[in-house]
Amino acid sequence: MKIILDKVKENDSELLFRLLEYSLFEESFYDGNEMNQEGIFDYPDFSLYYTSQDKEAFFIKDNQTKNLLGFIMIDNVTNKHQIKEFMILPNYRRKHIGKEAAFLSFNRYHGDWEVSPSMGSNTAHHFWKNVIQEYTNHNYQYQNGIFNFNK
């Protein structure tokens, strides 16, 4: 399956927010993040991902069917790029879609990259380690739970 990264626009923000909430719920098993009194995980600066030049969000979609497969949120600050949030919907995991989405993201921006997998999630750590090793041909640094490399 070929995938595309479809930039999130303001009119798509509600869908991104729902997906982000699902992702934060999944991560809460590992990072202890708590919901607020309205049953929502707080996410400061969420609106900047569709209004700012320094933050971008993309839906991960099947190029042929345009089916939604997941999302990725990236911060771009002075030639440093950070994957802040990343999720592949459960039905599409373990099909190399996450790896392809990560590679498309890395190819999109030149410079330094930083990826910090969800704290405590061995699955997320293993995924990112394998993806970054392959992408960089083992040319990366790992310290304090953060992968760093230059593209």
Model confidence over 53-72: pLDDT tens digits?
A: 899 999 999 999 999 999 99
Q: Is the pLDDT of residue 22 over 90?
A: no
Q: In what order do the strands lie in the sheet with 80-88?
A: 3-7, 55-62, 68-77, 80-88, 112-115, 146-150, 141-143
| Residue 54 to residue 98: CA distance in whole angstroms | 23
pTM: 0.90
- Tell me which residue has tokens 């960089």: 136
The CATH class given to the 3-150 domain equals alpha beta
Q: Is the pLDDT of residue 32 over 70?
A: no
User: Taking each helix axis from N to C terminus, what angle separates 122-136 and 97-108, rounded to the nearest 10 degrees?
Assistant: 50
